[in-house]
Structure 1
């Protein structure tokens, strides 16, 4: 597959535009491998992507040569290689969520005048990656690095509501869903009903369940595959935003969440 490598390298040196489709095909094959549950035959890759088998084999050979794919000769299948894992590790080291989220969080706080957070799901917990405190607002429990039960927070509920039912069951079926407040989730069906309300509303909310006297509204941010990547939330004193105004606040948060999702996916800005 030296020919394919030459095409990609020559493109880096401002070669003919024909290099771009070749690079895109290679990335499509790599992305397809990453989306599978296990190694797959080259014929299946070619069929699923609608490319000629000969071209698919050449691309796979190049990916194997560079460590981005592994060939399992006995099974006649291909899977992701160690170089792909290194890319994933590099992505984590560069902390794109924090880097891309910080200016958006600051802009959101300027827009709504309340404290905002960025959190991610980790099992049945939510971890707060960023906090931007609004002027004259107190320190909250949801500080950077804090871990809380996901079902207890608006941030966590917005993320859990994006999960398939099978994934939600896998997270909670073995351990009782516990709560710290006076209104516990007693079972998985109760949690599912709560998350169903989140799905219908398009946002999650909680009032006084994390910090007395404060409420939160959160909107999930999905990655390009529709998986919940993070959640953007605003926390405010009860009297500042009446409950009937929470849907309006959620729509305002959604605009900033959509922009962060666009940046994470690498999509071009809307014109």
Structure 2
């Protein structure tokens, strides 16, 4: 394998649950000889991709990656517009919000907006989720053609149920998660895209189940939908489906976010 591929594998080890690691840990998790891992991490340090924390032997992502993350977000007009909408809905309802993107069979948040309510869901920016098990992921998967989804989930255990779930989301215009994986947490996700760049993002609000009734859920869906509709109109997203069935009883199961 190339050093570039190996470096990418190291970077994939970092997430919300792993903020730093040693050479030994990288070697074990990548099933790589320790000497090779040591040389690889040294090269990544010299390139600015990694840095050592103080006088320890633990490595974390380098500051160069912060610049790249900012550049990524600023390069996308869609992400910026989506962030404005989610921030507005977060301010209005006080619940935590995310803007997320699809990466294969995973979904990850690229922007987050912490809620202001005393009882709220804590942000978990950087945590990768299985797309078919999340409101954001399912909203994005629903934008794909059925044959694309079938190819993506070929021989996957979730494939048979997923097709029906995505058809419901295409009809309703939103995805909903009702505390299936995270007790007490619900999530709503609405996807919109930019045809000119072939990007798509999911606008998501997460909230504690106990503080939001059906009327409030409908209001959140309507607010997200109106914001997403504005983005779709601005960018010419003809695939966007505005929420028309404000019914969170849909059988869209999965992880919040």
Global fold match (TM > 0.5):
yes
Task: Please give the alpha-carbon distance, in whole angstroms, between the structure 2 residues aligned to 1:93 and 1:242.
Answer: 34
> 224-233 or 149-158: which moved more?
224-233
Matches within 5 A, 1:200-211: 200-211=171-182
Matches within 5 A, 1:183-262: 187-224=158-195, 229-243=200-214, 245-261=216-232
Name the structure 2 match of 1:144.
Answer: 125
Listed as ranges, the gaps of 5+ residues in structure 1 are: 1-90, 178-186, 267-271
Name the structure 2 match of 1:116.
Answer: 97
Task: Please give the alpha-carbon distance, in whole angstroms, between the structure 2 residues aligned to 1:101 and 1:172.
Answer: 27
Task: Please give the alpha-carbon distance, in whole angstroms, between the structure 1 residues aligned to 2:127 and 2:159.
Answer: 25
Task: Please give the alpha-carbon distance, in whole angstroms, between the structure 1 residues aligned to 2:115 and 2:83.
Answer: 14
Name the structure 2 match of 1:94.
Answer: 74
Task: Identify the structure with the greater helix proportion.
Answer: 1
**Residues paired across the two proteins, number:** 165
SS of residue matched to 2:85: helix
Name the structure 1 match of 2:106.
Answer: 125
Larger radius of gyration: 1
Superposed CA RMSD: 2.8
Q: TM-score, normalised by structure 1?
A: 0.54
Task: Please give the alpha-carbon distance, in whole angstroms, between the structure 1 residues aligned to 2:197 and 2:145.
Answer: 11
Name the structure 2 match of 1:70.
Answer: none
SS of residue matched to 1:215: strand
SS of residue matched to 1:234: strand
Q: TM-score, normalised by structure 2?
A: 0.56
Task: Please give the alpha-carbon distance, in whole angstroms, between the structure 2 residues aligned to 1:196 and 1:159.
Answer: 12
Task: Please give the alpha-carbon distance, in whole angstroms, between the structure 2 residues aligned to 1:241 and 1:109.
Answer: 14
1:153 to 111, 125, 134: 134
Tell which has more relative contact order, 1 or 2 (C-alpha 8 A, sep 6+): 2
- Shift of residue 227, structure 1, vs aligned partner: 5.7
- Shift of residue 264, structure 1, vs aligned partner: 5.7
Listed as ranges, the gaps of 5+ residues in structure 2 are: 1-70, 238-257
